[in-house]
Amino acid sequence: MEFTYYPGCSLKGSAQELDESFRSVSEKLGVTLKELPDWACCGASSAHMVDAYLETALPARDLITAERLGRDVVAPCAGCHVRMKAASMKILEDAELSRQFPLRGGIRIMSGIDMLHDADVIKRIRERSAKPLAGLKVVAYYGCLAVRPVEVVDPDDPENPKQMDEVLEAVGAEVLNWPYKTDCCGGSLALTRTDLVLKLSQKLIDMAIAVGADAMVTLCPMCQANLDTRQADISKLSGRNYQMPVLYLTELIGVALNDSQASHWFEKHMVSPKTMLASKGLI
């Protein structure tokens, strides 16, 4: 099983632990990832708000390269995945754009969740989990871009997606029911409207605590950053001590696969999950 891998900007910067864990667990699952050569920024999250042509031209360059390679392309970042799919749809529906960008639509543009939920991959996750996550209670947080825009992403269920839940269940975690799995964390307003990000993120963390979660799990770099890095500020404003681990899905798969690199990934978190995972006997 082989895919073209598009890491995007976040995975090479603020979300290095997602890049490292995605690559590592893929290797352990017998999935070959070949990084897209000479890839460039897809324009997330602002190009589509600034320039209609640029929002298509940026991902088109990468999509044309991926199509020439002939493998389905995987973009773990939810923002990258949306921009690439939206650009592909726009090009294939517009004669002038199709002339400028010779894209045939011959490959799948997959999210990280799509790849991990593939029937063969999820079967391997179950079979190769050396350390099932028994006793770990989690909430799956998809965020906005994993399910919206619906006409672009085409999720299994835009209000109650199940793909990540089923992957978490495959590694033995208890996935709790909660009402905010697709609510917004504030996204890219982290710098321009920090007040909104703090408010929205606190609402999500409060609900995760209310349902009894040991951790929140996502696959979106922006969601993970907002929820993980803002807890100190939320604690100051609320007078409460927030210490909710926010993990990438691939990090927990790595724990289940007994990946020796997992502790290294956790060092990049503001709220370390190590104490919580140790208390469960998982590390």
Judge if 17 and 70 occupy the same domain: yes
The stretch 50-76 carries a mean pLDDT of: 95
Judge if 261 and 202 occupy the same domain: yes
Q: Which of 86, 113, 140 is the last residue of a domain?
A: 113
Going by pLDDT thresholds of 50, 70 and 90, the confidence category of residue 189 is confident
Are the C-beta atoms of residues 269 and 217 closer than 8 Å to each other?
A: no
Q: What's the pLDDT at 263?
A: 94
Q: What is the CA radius of gyration of the chain?
A: 18
Going by pLDDT thresholds of 50, 70 and 90, the confidence category of residue 281 is very high
CB atoms inside a 10 Å sphere around CB 47: 20
Residue in this structure with the two tokens 């045939």, named with its chain if needed: 104
Judge if 39 and 82 occupy the same domain: yes
In a domain, 124, yes or no: no
Q: What's the pLDDT at 9?
A: 95
In a domain, 121, yes or no: no
How far apart are alpha carbons 71 and 36 in whole angstroms? 10
Q: Is the pLDDT of residue 146 over 80?
A: yes
Which of 250, 282, 273 lies closest to 76 in space, CA to CA?
A: 250
The stretch 33-43 carries a mean pLDDT of: 96
Judge if 152 and 105 occupy the same domain: no
Q: How many CA atoms lie within 13 A of 247 on its CB side?
A: 31
What DSSP character marks residue 177? P
- CA dihedral 154→160→166→168, nearest 10 degrees, is 110
Residues 6+ apart with CB under 8 A from 223: 78, 141, 143, 185, 187
Judge if 137 and 21 occupy the same domain: no
Judge if 22 and 75 occupy the same domain: yes
Task: Give the number of domains in the chain.
Answer: 2
Q: Which domain holds residue 272?
A: 130-279
Judge if 169 and 94 occupy the same domain: no
Q: Which of 113, 142, 177 is the last residue of a domain?
A: 113
Judge if 102 and 157 occupy the same domain: no
Burial of 148 (0-12, 13-18, 19+ CB in 10 A): middle
Find residue 111's DSSP bridge partners: 75
pLDDT digit string, tens, across residues 190-208: 888 999 999 999 999 999 9
Judge if 101 and 143 occupy the same domain: no
In a domain, 78, yes or no: yes
Which amino acid belongs to residue 222? M
Q: Is the pLDDT of residue 226 over 80?
A: yes
Q: Using a pLDDT cut of 70, give the percent of the chain over it.
A: 99
Which of 176, 170, 169, 146 lies closest to 159 in space, CA to CA?
A: 146
Judge if 134 and 107 occupy the same domain: no
Going by pLDDT thresholds of 50, 70 and 90, the confidence category of residue 219 is very high
The stretch 9-21 carries a mean pLDDT of: 96
Going by pLDDT thresholds of 50, 70 and 90, the confidence category of residue 6 is very high
Q: Using a pLDDT cut of 90, give the percent of the chain over it.
A: 94
Judge if 47 and 173 occupy the same domain: no
* 121, containing H or E segment: helix 119-128
Q: Is the pLDDT of residue 57 over 90?
A: yes
The stretch 139-160 carries a mean pLDDT of: 95
Judge if 50 and 185 occupy the same domain: no
The stretch 101-127 carries a mean pLDDT of: 97
